[in-house]
């Protein structure tokens, strides 16, 4: 990813917050034949100081077969939006797009053990059900659960390198940054993008 210094984020807390808030990722794996792309939710945890991503794909998806030997990157997309130069007090500027994105590179390990795959699924479900008032629990009939486990392939990625780009107007003059924030707010722009712009470029 093209990483100008003023857009580079090296704060692990900010990286983890974006991953947790926007967990629907794009997993890209490359081999000598061709890249493979899958869109899927991933959860994150720390393991002895290493960021570990967990998820699963359908067994019918051939992506899983290339994972152990491929180079893979999980891409997390944060808030984003169009920025009009009409919002800048300074003249001569052009339109742009503000966004936050995190790329996680690492080796993927398939989880072959049924009990471990089940535990991963239970954690995934619990994670996304937790905000609900009455969370759904994975209490399925044994035959149904067995069929479900047979239809998916669970995996973990131990992240070896992270690129985090928060392109939020840090390269603009203060009055132009404030103009962009005000312009986005006036037209009902995405609140989370506005909040990030205030934190990083406000």
For the chain, domain boundaries: 5-201
Judged by DSSP in three states, 185 sits in: helix
If you average pLDDT over residues 100-122, what whole number do you get? 95
Residue 72 has pLDDT above 80, yes or no: yes
The pTM score is 0.93
Q: What's the average model confidence in pLDDT over 175-185? A: 95
Looking at the predicted structure, is the pLDDT value of residue 83 above 80?
yes
Locate 83 and state its tokens: 């920025």
What does the radius of gyration of the chain's CA atoms come to, in whole angstroms?
20
Q: How far apart are CA 104 and CA 53, in angstroms?
A: 9
Distance (Å, rounded) from C-alpha 163 to C-alpha 7?
Answer: 11
Percent of the chain with pLDDT over 70: 100
Please tell me the CATH superfamily of domain 5-201, with its number: Electron Transport, Fmn-binding Protein; Chain A (2.30.110.10)
The answer, yes or no, to whether residue 86 has pLDDT greater than 90, is: yes
**Greatest CA separation found in the chain?**
67
- Mean local confidence (pLDDT), 156-169: 97
Neighbours of 55 (CB within 10 A): 22
Name which residue leads in pLDDT, 49 or 164.
Answer: 164
Q: Where does the pLDDT of residue 32 fall: very low under 50, low under 70, confident under 90, or very high at 90 and above? A: confident
Is it the case that residue 202 has pLDDT exceeding 70? no
> Does residue 63 have a pLDDT over 70?
yes
């Amino acid at each position: 990813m093209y990483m100008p210094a003023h857009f580079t984020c090296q704060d692990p807390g900010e990286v983890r917050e974006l991953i947790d808030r926007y967990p629907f990722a794009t997993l890209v794996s490359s081999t000598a034949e061709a890249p493979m792309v899958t869109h899927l939710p991933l959860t994150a945890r720390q393991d002895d100081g290493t960021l570990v991503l967990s998820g699963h794909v359908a067994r019918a998806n051939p992506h899983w077969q290339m994972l152990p030997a491929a180079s893979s990157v999980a891409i997390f997309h944060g808030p984003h939006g169009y920025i009009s130069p009409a919002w800048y007090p300074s003249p001569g500027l052009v339109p742009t797009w503000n966004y936050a994105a995190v790329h996680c590179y690492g080796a993927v390990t398939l989880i072959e053990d049924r009990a471990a795959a089940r535990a991963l699924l239970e954690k995934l479900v619990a994670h996304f059900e937790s905000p609900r008032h009455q969370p759904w629990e994975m209490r399925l009939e044994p035959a149904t659960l067995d069929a479900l486990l047979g239809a998916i392939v669970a995996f973990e990625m131990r992240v070896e390198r992270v690129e985090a780009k928060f392109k939020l107007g840090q390269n603009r003059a203060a009055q132009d940054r404030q103009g962009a924030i005000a312009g986005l707010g006036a037209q009902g722009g995405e609140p989370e993008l506005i909040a990030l712009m205030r934190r990083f470029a406000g």
